[in-house]
């Protein structure tokens, strides 16, 4: 049961690298705080989910790197290769020469259709390698142009091409201030489109992670690398192979499949079914004990509402709209997106 | 990686352009130790062998600037071709004449424009064909004269017609009030109509500001205060090869180098890697909320680095404060008391996201942002600092503070126009009519009015727009 990770745009690729790096380090950790046998079973399971073996015996990440300009992918491939512990596949990337310019419309309406065939072929080739595909994990930011726009387009395409696969998007929520000026437009357009095709959106908020770095980890000069490593650790611990409830000595439950579990989503029916717990005896990332909580709650209501509010305010003045209509996203498309998100906000409010 | 082409027009345009190429080579030389023709170099330079054929990879053989040099006098271009940079320019990428434009926009635009259109298109096409992905044209010119102003803006039109998908960034040197060219207001206003309609982004520059910066640096160097020895390499006013002999130094060189540094910093994040890249198309996307409001106020900091290692490096935060001080701006304007539509911070070197966030938090309370863009900040982080510095910051602001500059320009224009002073020099040019003048001033008035409409919203209480009401 394997997971195909798709790393999109600068953010997706930078974080994706940290995720695989973290998992690889954890794999080789001898300090599992458990028995040797358990360690071996865990390692085998983890490797199977996220890495391929090739002739050189260096694990090859099950990932596809996609970006519309080459700098970040070159850096990412190099860093992985230099680590010596793991690497990306030789033919696992796709890039172009000119980025999406922080323009969702450009990512969705221009890059998307133009490179649809090449990208879907790349994904198909990867998927064909595996006996069973448990699903896709797409890492993307909402604020920019490629991760957001091309990400939305690609998720739609994946849904059409693989209707029975599980698709999960790792969505990076931008800082409230100081990243991209049109980030609220890009976010609104991304979320409203992802909602129609994705099975689950796992959200990582830059502001929250930044606070973790500052307050909990006491880092003085926080870099994007620090932020990305925290996100990677969170993702890694969520995707760990875990015991299935039936058989306590076999790692059955695969990471993405776990999210399909209906128990996760019946939070308004039975409180006893609302919480699902999986255990692993083997420690993760050198922490003696750790826990990861994934929740679907009203937690995200405020950030979502804030983004919709700011985007709406800007839209009322029509600022920047010409940059989107230039590439085929009209005012009606904006209004549709706002409508979808207001419905979501209202639904969460009514819980 | 995408490429950019520099089109330098007129005396001023070519002098600044020459400084730019000089500094670009110096910057790449300090980063590119192995002499490999890499993607960063590819942005502005071709690599050719002894026969002039392009080499796309491998060792650097001979670098050629992606540039087109145009002047209706020969002096400046000839000097460039005889100087230390002569091998950097392809002789096929030049267009010169001998007679000059007589400080007359109409001669530059109407006469030379039509005379040289085909040649211009041909040279541009050749340069474009050497690029596998052309992203942006940088036009460098002055507004007050005849060639840079007239022919320069004619070329802007040609760029839009022939290469509509390629961005057009214009660096325009505006004349000061005491400009010795009497007709500079006419030339500038006529040129501004073209900038309004055909440029994607304009970076206005005023000589007065450049002069002030040069004075400030001279004061610093000559102050004799202990610990104020400056690292020569780091001066924002400096050329390649260290200190130039006094004899060789031209009066405008120092000022031109500041503008050259502006262009280098603007393109640093698209050439070099970093944790938050910013390409040129992102500048336009984030800083231009409405098509005509594309004039950006730039400020560059630091201007120099102190050489004395015993003095602790200037606090990082000081760099951010400086960028918002009038002393570091390249035009005379007051953004702090006007309205920001958007602001971009292009950071280079050893700076992290937490430093940027801390400073934005600190500075934003003293700045006024338009109601629909209260958090209108765009940031980029490039890992490679400029030569001689550990970090630097270029701030680009789309701010209504340009309005007084434009109003002053309009007033100077009207003072001349009402008396019909020197008008005959223009009207006697073929296809130049009075309507050209009236349309130009009308375009400028309408631009000023747009800034006015935004200005009146400053300080008004902000109310949230009523949201969509959804029935579940």
Q: What is the domain-level CATH number for residue A126?
A: 3.40.50.1440
- What per-residue confidence (pLDDT) applies to A292? 60
Range in B252-266, B408-422, B429-443 with the lowest mean pLDDT = B252-266
Which residues in chain B touch residue A225, judged by CB atoms under 8 angstroms apart? Answer: 275
Question: Inter-chain contact B356–A309, Cβ cutoff 8 Å?
Answer: no
- Alpha-carbon distance A94 to A106, whole Å? 17
Does residue B36 contact residue B59 with C-beta atoms inside 8 Å? yes
Q: Is residue A110 part of a domain?
A: yes
Give the contacts of A310 (CB within 8 A, at least 6 positions apart).
Answer: A184, B374, B375
Residue B384 in this model has a pLDDT that exceeds 90: yes
The rounded distance, in Å, linking the Cα atoms of B337 and B327 is 15
- Any B CB within 8 A of A351 CB: no
Nearest CA in chain B to A340: B470
Quote the pLDDT of residue A293.
64
CB contact under 8 A, A99 and B277: yes
Indicate the average pLDDT of chain A: 83
| Tally of domains in chain A | 1
Q: State yes or no: pLDDT of A289 exceeds 60.
A: no
* Domain ranges, residue A236: 2-241+258-350
Would you put residue B67 in left (φ > 0), alpha (ψ -120 to 50) or beta?
beta
Quick one: which of A215, A216, A209 has its CA closest to A230?
A: A209
The mean per-residue pLDDT over the stretch B303-326 comes to: 75
User: Smallest Cβ distance to A314: which of B372, B377, B472?
Assistant: B372
Q: What is the ipTM of this complex?
A: 0.89
Chain centroid to Cα A68, Å, comes to 18
- Cα–Cα distance, A316 to A221 (Å, whole number): 38
In angstroms, what CA-CA distances link A305 with A343, A344, A348, B237, B339?
Answer: 11, 10, 11, 48, 27
Average pLDDT rounded to a whole number, residues B220-227: 71
- Nearest CB to A312 within list B277, B289, B465: B465
Extended strands (E) in B290-385: 297-301, 339-349, 368-369, 377-382
- Asked if the C-beta of A273 comes within 8 angstroms of chain B's C-beta atoms, the answer is no
Which one is predicted more confidently, A270 or B72? Answer: B72
Strand partners, A2: A133
The residue written with tokens 């007239």 in the block is B150
CA atoms of A6 and A12, how far apart (whole Å): 8
Q: What is the 3-state secondary structure (H, E, C) of chain A?
A: CEEEEEEEHHHHHHHHHHHHHHHHHHHCCCCCCCCHHHHHHHHHHHHHHHEECCCCCCCEECEEEEECCHHHHHHHHHHHHHHCCCEECCCCEEECCCCCCCCHHHHHHHHHHHHHHHHHHHHHHHHHCCCCEEEEEEEEECCCCHHHHHHHHHHHHHHHHCCCCEEEEEEEECCCCCCCCCHHHHHHHHHHHHHHHCCEEEEEEHHHHHHHHHHHCCCCCCCHHHHHHHHHHHHHHHCCCCECCCCCCCECCCHHHHHHCHHHHCCCCCHHHHCCCCCCCCCCCCCCCCCCCCCCCHHHHHHHHHHHHHHHHHHHCCCCHHHHHCCCCCHHHHHHHHHHHHHHHHHHHCC
How far is residue B176's CA from residue B209's CA, in Å, rounded to a whole number? 10
pLDDT of residue A281: 54
What integer pLDDT is reported at residue A271 of this predicted model? 43
* Residue B292 in contact with partner chain A when CB distance is under 8 A: no
- B408: pLDDT strictly greater than 90: yes
The model's confidence at residue A238, banded by pLDDT at 50, 70 and 90, is: confident
A77 located within any domain = yes
Residue A305: closest CA among chain B residues belongs to which residue?
B467
In a domain, A253, yes or no: no
pLDDT digits (tens, 9 = 90+) for B169-198: 999 999 987 778 999 999 999 999 999 999
Q: pLDDT at residue B312 above 80? A: no
Report the chain B residue with the minimal C-alpha distance to residue A221: B354
Which chain A residues touch B271 with a CB distance below 8 Å?
none
Instruction: Give the pLDDT band of residue A287 (cuts 50, 70, 90).
Output: low
Parallel/antiparallel/unpaired status of strands A87-88 and A60-61: parallel
pLDDT tens digit sequence for A159-206: 999 998 899 999 999 998 878 999 999 999 999 999 989 988 888 999
B379: nearest CA partner in chain A: A179
- Alpha-carbon gap: A96 to the closest alpha carbon of chain B (Å): 8
Question: Degrees (nearest 5) of the Cα angle B68, B71, B76?
Answer: 100
Q: Is residue A227 part of a domain?
A: yes
**Cα(A138)–Cα(B245) distance, rounded to whole angstroms?**
59
* Neighbouring-strand partners of residue A6: A64, A138
Task: Kindly tell me if the per-residue pLDDT of B53 is higher than 90.
Answer: no
Chain B (95-134) residues lying within 8 Å, Cβ to Cβ, of chain A: 132-133
On whether the CB atoms of residues B166 and B159 are closer than 8 A, the answer is yes
Chain A residue at shortest CA distance from B289: A320
Q: What's the DSSP call for residue A126?
A: H
Residue B356 pLDDT class (50, 70, 90 cuts): very high
Residue B137 contacts residue B2 (beta carbons within 8 Å): no
Residue pair A45/A282 in contact by the 8 Å Cβ criterion:
no
Instruction: Return the higher-pLDDT residue of B328 and A45.
Output: B328
Q: What is the pLDDT of residues B60-107, one digit of tens each?
A: 888 999 999 999 988 888 888 888 888 999 888 999 998 899 999 999
Q: Report the residue from B133, B352, B374 with minimal CB separation from A98.
A: B133
In a domain, A49, yes or no: yes
- Give, as one character, the DSSP assignment of residue B151: I
Distance of CA B152 to the CA centre of its chain: 14
B242 has a pLDDT exceeding 50: no
Tell me, what's the pLDDT at B314? 59
Beta strands in A184-293 (DSSP E): 200-205
* Calpha distance A181→B164 (Å, rounded): 25
pLDDT tens, position by position, A91-124: 999 999 888 999 999 999 999 999 999 999 999 9
What is the sign of the dihedral through the CA atoms of B437, B442, B443 and B444?
A: positive
With respect to residue A248, please indicate whether it lies within any of the assigned structural domains: no
Q: Give yes or no for residue B245 having a pLDDT over 50.
A: no
- For residue B4, CA distances in Å to B48, B126, B169, B171, B262 come to 17, 13, 10, 14, 15
- Inside any domain, residue A213: yes
CB B387 within 8 A of CB B423: no
Task: Give me the pLDDT at residue B303, please.
Answer: 81
Report how far residue A129's alpha carbon sits from residue A121's, in angstroms, rounded to the nearest whole number.
13
pTM to 2 decimals?
0.90
Cβ-Cβ contacts under 8 Å, B287 against chain A: 181
Say if CB B161 and CB B192 are below 8 A apart: no
Q: What is the dihedral of CA A201, A204, A207, A211, to 10 degrees?
A: 140
Residue A163 lies in a domain: yes
- The secondary element (H helix, E strand) that includes residue A138 is strand A133-141
């Amino acid at each position: 049961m394997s997971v195909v990770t798709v790393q999109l745009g600068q953010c997706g690729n930078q974080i994706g690298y940290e995720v695989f790096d973290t998992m690889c380090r954890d794999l080789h950790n001898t300090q599992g705080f458990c028995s040797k046998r358990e360690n071996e079973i865990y390692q085998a399971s983890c490797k199977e989910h996220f890495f391929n073996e090739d002739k050189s015996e260096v694990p090859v990440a099950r990932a596809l790197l996609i970006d519309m300009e080459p700098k970040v992918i070159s850096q990412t491939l190099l860093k992985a290769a230099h680590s010596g512990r793991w690497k990306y596949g030789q033919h696992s990337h796709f890039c172009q020469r000119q980025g999406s310019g922080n323009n969702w419309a450009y990512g969705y309406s221009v890059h998307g259709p133009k490179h649809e065939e090449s990208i879907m072929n790349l994904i198909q080739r990867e998927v064909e390698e595996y006996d069973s595909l448990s699903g896709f994990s797409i890492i993307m930011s909402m604020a920019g142009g490629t991760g957001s726009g091309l990400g939305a387009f690609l998720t739609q395409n994946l849904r059409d091409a693989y209707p029975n696969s599980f698709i999960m998007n790792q969505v990076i929520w931008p800082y409230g201030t100081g990243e991209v000026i049109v980030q609220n437009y890009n976010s609104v357009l991304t979320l409203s489109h992802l909602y129609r095709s994705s099975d689950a959106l796992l959200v990582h908020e830059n502001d929250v992670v930044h606070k973790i770095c500052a307050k909990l980890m006491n880092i003085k000069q926080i870099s994007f690398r620090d932020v990305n490593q925290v996100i990677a650790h969170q993702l890694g611990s969520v995707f760990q192979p875990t015991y299935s409830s039936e058989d306590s000595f076999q790692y059955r439950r695969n990471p993405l499949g776990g999210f399909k579990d209906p128990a996760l989503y019946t939070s308004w029916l039975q409180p006893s079914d609302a919480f699902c717990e999986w255990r692993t005896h083997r420690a993760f990332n050198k922490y003696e004990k750790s826990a990861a909580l994934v929740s679907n709650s009203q937690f995200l209501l405020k950030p979502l509402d804030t983004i919709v509010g700011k985007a709406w305010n800007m839209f009322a003045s029509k600022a920047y709209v010409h940059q989107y209509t230039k590439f085929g996203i009209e005012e009606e498309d904006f209004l549709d997106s706002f409508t979808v998100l207001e419905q979501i906000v209202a639904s969460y409010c009514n819980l | 990686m995408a490429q950019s082409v520099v089109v330098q027009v007129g005396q001023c345009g070519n002098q600044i352009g020459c400084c730019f190429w000089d500094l670009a080579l110096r910057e790449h030389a300090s980063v590119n130790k192995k002499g490999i023709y890499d993607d960063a170099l590819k942005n502005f330079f071709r690599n050719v062998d002894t026969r002039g054929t392009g080499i796309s990879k491998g060792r650097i053989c001979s670098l050629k600037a992606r540039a087109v040099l145009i002047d209706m006098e020969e002096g400046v271009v000839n000097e460039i071709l005889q100087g230390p940079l002569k091998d950097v320019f392809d002789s096929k990428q030049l267009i010169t004449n001998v007679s000059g434009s007589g400080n007359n926009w109409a001669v530059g635009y109407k006469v030379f424009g039509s005379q040289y259109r085909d040649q211009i298109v041909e040279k541009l096409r050749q340069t474009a064909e050497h690029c596998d992905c052309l992203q942006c044209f940088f036009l460098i010119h002055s507004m007050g004269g005849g060639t840079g102003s007239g022919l320069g803006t004619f070329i802007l039109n040609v760029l839009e017609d022939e290469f509509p998908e390629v961005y057009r960034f214009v660096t325009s040197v505006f004349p000061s009030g005491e400009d010795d060219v009497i007709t500079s207001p006419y030339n500038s206003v006529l040129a501004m109509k073209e900038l309004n309609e055909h440029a994607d982004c304009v970076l206005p520059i005023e000589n007065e500001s450049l002069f002030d910066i040069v004075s400030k640096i001279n004061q610093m160097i000559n102050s004799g205060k202990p610990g104020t020895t400056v690292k020569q390499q780091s001066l924002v006013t400096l050329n390649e090869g260290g200190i130039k002999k006094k004899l060789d130094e031209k009066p405008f060189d120092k000022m031109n180098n500041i503008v050259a540094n502006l262009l280098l910093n603007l393109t640093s994040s698209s050439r070099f890697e970093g944790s938050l890249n910013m390409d040129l198309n992102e500048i336009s996307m984030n800083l231009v909320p409405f098509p005509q409001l594309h004039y950006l106020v730039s400020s560059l900091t630091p201007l120099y680095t102190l050489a004395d290692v015993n003095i602790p490096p200037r606090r990082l935060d000081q760099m951010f404060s400086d960028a918002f001080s009038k002393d570091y701006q390249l035009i005379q304007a007051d953004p702090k008391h006007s309205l920001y539509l958007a602001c971009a911070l292009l950071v280079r070197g050893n700076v992290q996201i937490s430093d940027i966030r801390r400073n934005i938090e600190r500075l934003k309370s003293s700045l006024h942002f338009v109601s629909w863009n209260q958090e209108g900040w765009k940031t980029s982080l490039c890992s490679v600092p400029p030569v001689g510095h550990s970090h630097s910051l270029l701030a680009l602001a789309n701010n209504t503070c340009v309005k007084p500059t434009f109003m002053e320009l309009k007033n100077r224009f009207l003072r001349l126009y009402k008396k019909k002073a020197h008008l005959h020099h223009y009207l006697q040019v073929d296809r130049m009519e009075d309507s050209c003048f009236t349309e130009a001033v009308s375009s400028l008035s309408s631009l000023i009015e747009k800034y006015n409409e935004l200005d009146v919203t400053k300080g008004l209480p902000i109310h949230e727009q009523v949201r969509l009401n959804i029935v579940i």
